[in-house]
Copies of this chain bind each other. A is one copy, B any other.
Amino acid sequence: MAYQSENLIAQAREIREASRVSQRALSERAGLTQSHISQIESGKMEPGLSSFIDLTRALDLEVMLVPKKLVPAVLGLVKAQATPDMHIHAGQPNDKRFARAERLVKKMKHLYGSSADLDRIEDTLRFLRRVNLRDQEMQLVRELIARLERYQASAQAAPVVRDIAQNLQRLRNSIAHPAPSEPRPAYSLDDGDADA
């Protein structure tokens, strides 16, 4: 099931990982079991409010209620403080990034001939561009694009390109088919979409 809470949970997970706390260590501090935390983080179960609070408190976080209107302000506040030595130049808006990436792919197709992998990348980029990506997801995309740029002219570009294509597609699938729980109907093929 696609839950409304996945953002919050993903955030908590990121912070846990960033602070190098293992699920086990956290479980002791928060008073939950490791298995429980694993299932929550992997989206296999939806925590109760109090479990979630326990979890976040153990990470030195507070759950707060903020008027929608103020969300950007708070976000700014938190972000400013959170990464004092993180040099993520927030410069380029995502949209431009995608535009550049698509141009790059086009150029590669033109130079080295088109391939199934390049086609896949192009297609997936076009898709991802339209979606609201979480920071974490955007980060992944950024990395993949950077890698593509780095290896574009390399001799062994082929396997790298394939890997990038696979990663992008995986991300895409995780967004397009976010439901891990339903008994998958037989008609749903593993990879592509049912679209036609």
Contact = CB atoms under 8 A, between A and B. Distances in A.
A111 interface: no
Nearest to A46: B50
A178 B66 CA distance: 26
Contacts of A48: 46-49
B14 A196 contact: yes
Interface in A44-85: 46-54, 56-57, 60-71, 73-75, 77-79, 81-83
B190 A7 contact: yes
Quick one: which of A17, A54, A176 has the most chain B CB within 10 A? A176
A179 B116 contact: no
Q: Give the dominant DSSP class at A's interface.
A: helix
Given A61-B67, A195-B169, A123 B179 contact: yes
11 contacts: A4-B53, A11-B193, A11-B194, A14-B195, A49-B49, A68-B190, A126-B181, A127-B178, A130-B178, A132-B187, A176-B195
Quick one: which of A17, A48, A122 has the most chain B CB within 10 A? A48
Contacts of A81: 67, 69-70
Given A4-B99, A178-B126, A65 B67 contact: no
Please state the number of chain copies in the assembly: 2
A136 interface: yes
A10 interface: yes
A146 interface: no
Contact of A64 (B66, B69, B173, B194): B66
A32 interface: no
A12 interface: yes
